[in-house]
Structure 1
Amino acid sequence: MKIDLQRYQGIIFDMDGTLVDSMPLHLKAWQLTAQQFGFDYEHDWLYSKGGTPTLGIAKQLNVRQGTNFDPQQLVQQKRTYFDQIRHQVSIIDATFELVKVHHGAKKLAIGTGADGRTTDFIVSTLALGPWFDTIVHADQVSAHKPEPDTFLLAAKQLGLEPKDCVVFEDTATGVAAAKAAGMDCYLVEQGRITQFFTP
C-alpha cells in the first residue's frame, strides 16, 4: 500500500513484530512456559497481546483460562526461555527502510510494551539506538497498551503534539493505543504494511 508520511513531524514505531521480528521468539517462550506449567498455549490470543507487558499477559491468562498461577513465576519462566533465544531477533525490512529514509528529516521514536531489560538488549543487539530520538518502554509508564500512555510519552519526549505523529503497530492492541492517543496508525502484518487507521 502507499505510505504517505509527508504531513507528520514524528514517527513512532512499536518494537516487537513491527520494527523487529521477535514475536516468534516471544511466542516460542510462551509455548515452552505453557508446557512447563500445564496451561493451554493459545497462539493467536498471545500474539494479539503484543504490546502488553509480560506480567499483564500472565494476569490475563489466569482470568481467561480460570487458572491460579503465580503471575510472577510465569513471567520469570517466560523470560528465562526468551533469554535463551532472544539473540535470534532480526530487523523487519519494511519498517526499518522507513527509519532509514526519514532519519534526520523527522523525529523518530520507539514505543514498546517490552520491559526495559528486553528493550535494551534488542536495541543494543541490532544497533538501533543511533536511529531514534527517544525510546519508551513498559517500565516508563503505568498504563500500558491499549491505553495511550506509551505513545503520548513518546510524543512528549519528541517535543511534538500527538496529531503530528504517526504510529506503526502490528496488533489490534497497539492500534487501539494509537487511536486513543489521537494518532494515525499503520498496521504491520507479517513484515508488510497493510492497513491505515485514523483515531
Structure 2
Amino acid sequence: MLLNLSRYKGLIFDMDGTLIDTMPAHLAAWRMTAEHFQFPFDSQWLHSMGGMPSFNIVREINQRFQLALDPQQVAQYKMRSFDQQGADSPLIAETYAIFCSNRGEKKIAVGTGSQRQSAIRLLTKAGILEQLDALVTATDVTHHKPHPETFVRASELLDLSPQECLVFEDTALGMQAAHAGGMDCVMVTSNGLTFHAAKTPANPITQ
C-alpha cells in the first residue's frame, strides 16, 4: 500500500509492535508472569491489549478470570521479565522506512503505552529517541489507550492540531484512541499497512 502523506504535518507512531518488534518479548514476559502468578495465558487476547499499561492489563485479567491479583505487583514482575529479553528487539522495517523518509520533513512523535523509563531505554537502543520531536508515554498521561489523551498530548507537543497528524498503530485499542482524538490512523498488520480515516472513508490518502 502506497501512502500519500502530503496532507499531514505530523506523524505519531506507537512504539511496541509498530516501530519496534517488541511484541514477541512482551508475550514471552506475560507467559512467564502467568506461570508465576498462576493465571491463564491467552497470547491472542494479551496481544489485543497492546498499548495498555501492564497494570491496567492486570485489572483486565482480574475482571476476565474473576481473580484478585495485585496489579502493581504483577505488572512489576512482568516488566522485569520483559527487561530481561526485550532490549534487542528489532525495528519494524516498513514503519521505520516511513519514519526515516519523513524525518526533517514532518514533525515526528512516539505515543506509547509503555512506561517512560522502558520507552526511553528501547528508543535509545534503537537509535530513535534523539530523532523525535516529542515523546508521550504511559507515565505522562492520566488516561491510557483507548482514551485519546496519549495522541492528543503528542499533537500538542508537536504544536499541531489532531487533524494535522497521522497515527501509526498495530492494535484496535490504539486505533480507537487515534480516532477518539480525531486523527486518521494507519494500522500495521501482518498483511501490510491499512488506512482508517477518523470520520469519513472519503479521505484520499492512498495513491
Change over 3 Å in CA distance of 1:192–1:131 after alignment to 2:
farther
Distance apart, 1:117 and its partner CA? 1.3
- For 1:93, the equivalent position in structure 2 comes to 93
- For 2:61, the equivalent position in structure 1 comes to 61
Q: Deviations over 1:29-51 (max 9, x none)?
A: 00111011111001111101111
Letter in 2 for 1:58: V
Where in structure 2 are the equivalents of 1:18-37 lying within 5 Å?
18-37=18-37
Letter in 1 for 2:136: V
Judge which range, 82-91 or 24-33, deviates more. 82-91
User: How many Å separate the matches in 2 of 1:96 and 1:41?
Assistant: 31
Q: Deviations over 1:7-31 (max 9, x none)?
A: 0000000000000000111111001
Letter in 1 for 2:180: A
User: How many Å separate the matches in 2 of 1:106 and 1:118?
Assistant: 25
User: How many Å separate the matches in 2 of 1:7 and 1:81?
Assistant: 41
Q: Which has the higher helix share?
A: 1
Distance apart, 1:76 and its partner CA? 1.4
CA contact (8 A) 1:168 1:188 kept: yes
Q: Deviations over 1:124-147 (max 9, x none)?
A: 111111221111101100000000
Letter in 2 for 1:60: E
Where in structure 2 are the equivalents of 1:142-181 lying within 5 Å?
142-181=142-181
CA contact (8 A) 2:120 2:129 kept: no
CA contact (8 A) 1:138 1:144 kept: yes
Where in structure 2 are the equivalents of 1:48-197 lying within 5 Å?
48-190=48-190, 192-197=192-197
Distance apart, 1:194 and its partner CA? 3.1
User: How many Å separate the matches in 2 of 1:76 and 1:196?
Assistant: 34
CA contact (8 A) 1:92 1:191 kept: no
Q: Give the CA RMSD over aligned residues.
A: 1.1
Change over 3 Å in CA distance of 1:113–1:191 after alignment to 2:
farther
Are residue 43 (structure 1) and residue 49 (structure 2) matched? no
CA contact (8 A) 1:17 1:23 kept: yes
Distance apart, 1:192 and its partner CA? 2.8
Judge which range, 182-191 or 167-176, deviates more. 182-191
SS at 1:85 equivalent: coil
SS at 1:168 equivalent: strand
Distance apart, 1:103 and its partner CA? 0.5
- For 1:14, the equivalent position in structure 2 comes to 14
* Contiguous gaps of at least 5 residues in structure 1: none
Q: Deviations over 1:92-142 (max 9, x none)?
A: 010010111111111000000100111011011111112211111011000
Distance apart, 1:88 and its partner CA? 2.4
Residue identity (%) = 41
User: How many Å separate the matches in 2 of 1:198 and 1:76?
Assistant: 35
CA contact (8 A) 2:167 2:185 kept: yes
